[in-house]
Structure 1
């Protein structure tokens, strides 16, 4: 069993529903959604281009998947999870847009937002005691020799290259898209997510995802609202 701490809107939110329909799977229920046909892509092509994010479920990574450390139990993790949500306040990203990270497409903030960076860093640090060290195989999967020095250091210290200064919030919508298809994909995604683009995204909860065995689809174990009162009331 592996665990991960992700941001995802509530199961009932329009964004979660739109993303589940796009990816073809709902991580809250595990249920499949019929694939709709887009003018530039056949259904089979879209299935292939969304296969990786479909397995993980719609989300933004905060604490990457991990096995529990020796001496830690799921109950211990759930206690810490509930305590974190209770003492953390919700906040809002000013706006999100469809962005491209290398060959991948995702919903991303339209500008840097320090409260988001601070929130992500706190999740990484608070839940670090629950993370078992990476295996040699897991380290090699990340190709550490190809990473910049800071990302390599993060991988060895925190189990994931993209934390703290290297963290970039993104809610993945595709796997790698060929360059020849990138413009078409951008157009499709801007149409599909038009109701959310350029609008605020409220970061109002934290979700615990689980992977029953390596390679299995990730599922939402539980999602808790962030309930602390903001300092300014």
Structure 2
């Protein structure tokens, strides 16, 4: 396996209609590591390739442990082994469901109802693999801070290398880049009849995924990690 530039823990949908839709909608299948033709969706305000340009390289996913560069004294083999063991100790999570939701200026799938168990799972993954994370460089820190951070987010950035973890974690599966209010509403209206029938309730999360980013920063599935706790 070639070395990757960055690693992360994602939630990836299991193979099936929702995973297939997400891959084609974004145009990148993270599980297979290939580009995928976009679907035909009526009523969109802009071409799919424009709406999905920003999130495409990440694939259809929910971030659990944000992307990080491997520490110089750590190996990929050790990361894979620790991530596998960590997930084996953690319990699966049941959500009431997923819902198509506008988040600020972009569109995503988010948990319906209480997501506290999922937040605890994410926190355990962020902390449990932190020894493998190379500290963020000054340029990356400055880029994160340029967006404006709360004191708690600044503390997260300093401690964990990313602002939106721990109490600031909000699970979401991104479906668009930044859109105007008008385009966001139109995209949501066009996607709702396509996506909503694919969403099961309750929604079971039974595994994580170790992923890696190639030299072009496109993410690939490395290994699915069952939650067995």
Q: TM-score range by the shorter chain?
A: over 0.9
Equivalent of 1:141, from 140, 143, 152?
A: 143
In structure 2, C-alpha distance between the alignment counterparts of 1:211 and 1:33, rounded to whole Å: 17
- Give 2:78's aligned residue: 76
Distance 2:110 2:101 in 1: 6
Q: How far apart, CA to CA, are the structure 2 residues paired with 1:189 and 1:122?
A: 33
Which residue is equivalent to 2:181?
179
Corresponding residue for residue 107 of structure 1? 109
2:55–2:176 Cα contact (<8 Å) kept? yes
Aligned equivalents of 1:48, 1:188: Cα separation in 2: 15
Give CA deviations for 1:173-207 in whole Å, capped at 9, x if unaligned.
Answer: 11111112121111122122122347222111111
Further displaced range: 140-149 or 67-76: 140-149
Alpha-carbon contact 1:97-1:198 (below 8 Å) kept: no
Alignment of 1:1-16 (within 5 A): 1-10=5-14, 12-16=15-19
In the alignment, the residues of structure 2 paired with residue 123 and residue 212 of structure 1 have an alpha-carbon distance, to the nearest angstrom, of: 22
Q: Please give the per-residue CA displacement for 1:119-177, whole angstroms capped at 9, x wherever unaligned.
A: 01101110111101001111122135711111111111101111111110101111111
Q: Following the alignment from structure 1 to structure 2, what is the Cα–Cα distance between the partners of residues 86 and 34?
A: 35
Distance (whole Å) between structure 2 residues aligned to residue 145 and residue 220 of structure 1: 29
CA distance in 1, matches of 2:50, 2:147: 29
Q: Which runs of 5+ in 1 are unaligned?
A: 229-233
Q: 1:25·1:57 contact (CA, 8 Å) conserved in 2?
A: yes
The answer to whether the 8 Å contact 2:96/2:114 transfers is no
Cα root mean square deviation, aligned: 1.6
Aligned partners of 1:69, 1:33: CA distance in 2, in Å?
33
- Pairing of 1:16-35 with structure 2 (within 5 A): 16-35=19-38
Aligned to 1:218: 219
Residue of structure 2 in register with 1:166 after alignment:
168
Superposed structure 1 runs of 4+ greater than 6 Å apart: none
Structure 2: gaps of 5 or more residues = none
Contact kept in structure 1, 2:95 and 2:111, CA below 8 Å: yes
Q: Measure how far apart 1:37 and its partner are.
A: 3.0
Contact 2:100 2:196 in 1 (8 A): no
Shift of the 150–144 alpha-carbon distance from structure 1 to 2, 3 Å rule, reads farther
Contact 1:96 1:196 in 2 (8 A): no
Partner SS state of residue 107, structure 2: strand
Look up the match of 1:231.
none
Residues 44-85 of structure 1, C-alpha deviation per residue, up to 9 Å, x if partnerless? 722011012210011111111111112111011011011012
